[in-house]
Amino acid sequence: MAKKILAVVLAVMLVLTSLAACGNKTNTDAENTLKIGVILVGDENEGYTYAHIKGIKDAAKSLGIADSNILWKYTVPEDQTCHDAAVDLVENGCELIFSNSYGHQDFMKAAAMEHPEVTFVAMTGDTAKASGLPNFCNAFTNVYESRYVSGVVAGMKIAELVADGKLTDANYEDGKVKVGYVGAHPYAEVVSGYTAFYLGIKSVYPDVMMKVSYTGSWFDIVKEGEAANAFLADGCVIIGQHADSTGAPAAVEAAAKNGTVAYSVGYNIDMLSVAPTVALTSATNNWSVYYTEAIKSFMDGNGVPTNWAKGYSEDAVAITDLGPACAEGTAEKVAEVEAALKDGSLNVFDTATFTVEGNVVTSAFATDTDGNFVPDADEAVFDGYYHESYFQSAPSFQLRIDGIVEE
């Protein structure tokens, strides 16, 4: 009997809540019926994609978009599957579709050509402007700014290690402290990132040199670990990374347990869980800033900006919490640098701070117009610095500056 009563009560509640939901719907504005499609290269188990999921959910929450109006496509590879997923989202009524990986771009563009009534955003992409399609956009954060700040954190640590006499001859090459950087691919995105990181270190401790190696994959725990181990064996004191796994920090942690003096700077996520004693910080993105702005602009009828790139000025980038291994005074220094980036008094690629083959850079192009991936238009060096992500949202800085060696 009790069960029956319970069932009746539950049924009544169900009806009431669904009525309430209906009531809600009629009250809300028309804009909340917007359906958004999301195509993700990974799922919530992978740091990079997780950051996007969180960004979209936060944006939806602040804009009052119901969860049921966001359609997700997880673990979509960078091939025809992406195009199929995009078309399927269109058929399900999505008016705004995001993809989060660079390799999705062409397939999103193909879908944009077929469906001019729907807006497609290829995050981290770089062909929207050149395509001339009004419904195809790119977006990226100025993550190089947070990489610069993470470099400052590393530089503080190096300065402390030198002052405390913790380094040996093996840690120096030609009188400069060695830093290692595990990169994924030799793209402008990575080059721009490691250069910013290096310049960040140099702004605190000038006598450094950095070695970069590429794993050929965005996510490969084993290869990233191996690359880090090679740097450690070579005597590198700081291991930075532009790859998505925890392979490198874990390798540094293991080496530190055996007495090696080395520290790790990560990417995307806080690395303290895998490297509690050696992780200093990680450069990271706050994607919700972009998603909120883009979706809101779309709902207001203004469309999505073709190229969007913002950094500290809008809090679209950040570094994760400082680890216990950080040098004294790091937090204060970080606050100072972040404030300078925010108000524009500090520019990461200030041409006074680096040289290429011994010369100060006075000219560098930002945009590739003929599709051979060598920039040939849009002079980016003016007002004393290279204007990164100024002409297009994706990073374009490809100069190989002095002090950094690619292996």
Partner 1 sequence: MNKNHEPLIRIAKRDAMVWWKAYLIRIVSVILALIVSAVVIFSITKLNPFAVYGSMYRGAFGTTGKTWNTIRDAMILLCISVGLAPAFKMRFWNIGAEGQILIGGLVTAACMMYFKSMPTVLLLIVMFVTSCIAGALWGLLPAIFKAKWNTNETLFTLMMNYVAIYLTSFFVDFWDKKQSHSVGIINLDTGKGWFPRLFGEQYILNVIIVVLLAAGMYFYLKISKHGYEIAVVGESENTARYAGINVKKVIIRTMLISGAICGIAGFVEVAGVSHTISTSTAGGRGFTAIIVAWLAKFNSLTMTLISFLLVFLDKGAAQIASDFNLNEYASEMVTGIILFFILGSEFFINYRLILRGKHKEVAAK
* 29 lines the binding site for partner 1 (CB under 8 A): no
* Residue 248 region by backbone torsions, left for phi larger than 0, else alpha for psi between -120 and 50, else beta: alpha
Residue 292: closest CA among 82, 81, 141: 141
Query: What number of chain residues touch partner 1 (CB under 8 A)?
Result: 31
Which residue in 17, 206, 276, 373 binds partner 1 (CB under 8 A)?
A: 373
The nearer residue to partner 1, 292 or 398, going by C-beta atoms, is 398
* 393 lines the binding site for partner 1 (CB under 8 A): no
DSSP class of residue 364 equals -
- State the Cα–Cα distance between residues 10 and 4, nearest whole angstrom: 10
* 23 lines the binding site for partner 1 (CB under 8 A): no
**Sequence-ordered list of residues with C-beta below 8 angstroms from that of 205, at least 6 positions apart, any chain:** 155, 156, 158, 159, 162, 177
CB 40 within 8 A of CB 100: yes
Smallest gap from residue 21 Cβ to partner 1 (A): 19
H/E element holding 23? helix 2-27
Site string for partner 1, 133-172 (x = CB under 8 A): ----------------------------------------
Q: At what angle do helices 188-204 and 330-343 cross, to 10 degrees?
A: 120
Which residue in 74, 172, 365, 390 binds partner 1 (CB under 8 A)?
A: 74
- State the Cα–Cα distance between residues 195 and 197, nearest whole angstrom: 5
User: Of the ranges 28-36, 157-165, 283-291, 368-376, which one interacts with partner 1 (CB under 8 A)?
Assistant: 368-376
266, β-bridge pairs: 282
Quick count: other Cβ atoms within 10 Å of Cβ 341? Answer: 21
Which residue in 63, 66, 87, 167 binds partner 1 (CB under 8 A)?
A: 87
Sign, CA dihedral 294-299-300-303, equals positive
* 207 lines the binding site for partner 1 (CB under 8 A): no
The nearer residue to partner 1, 46 or 338, going by C-beta atoms, is 46
* 181 lines the binding site for partner 1 (CB under 8 A): no
CB 55 within 8 A of CB 291: yes
Smallest gap from residue 104 Cβ to partner 1 (A): 10
* 116 lines the binding site for partner 1 (CB under 8 A): no
CB 197 within 8 A of CB 150: yes
The nearer residue to partner 1, 124 or 292, going by C-beta atoms, is 124
Which residue in 35, 52, 73, 202 binds partner 1 (CB under 8 A)?
A: 73
Return the residues of window 94-113 that contact partner 1 according to CB under 8 A.
Answer: 102-103, 105-107, 109-110, 113
* 174 lines the binding site for partner 1 (CB under 8 A): no
Which residue in 33, 79, 116, 257 binds partner 1 (CB under 8 A)?
A: 79
* 359 lines the binding site for partner 1 (CB under 8 A): no
Which residue in 75, 273, 313, 369 binds partner 1 (CB under 8 A)?
A: 75
- State the Cα–Cα distance between residues 308 and 293, nearest whole angstrom: 10
CB 347 within 8 A of CB 385: yes
Quick count: other Cβ atoms within 10 Å of Cβ 80? Answer: 10
The nearer residue to partner 1, 107 or 290, going by C-beta atoms, is 107
Smallest gap from residue 393 Cβ to partner 1 (A): 16
Site for partner 1, rule CB under 8 A: 43, 71-75, 77-80, 83-84, 87-88, 91-92, 102-103, 105-107, 109-110, 113, 185-187, 216, 371-373
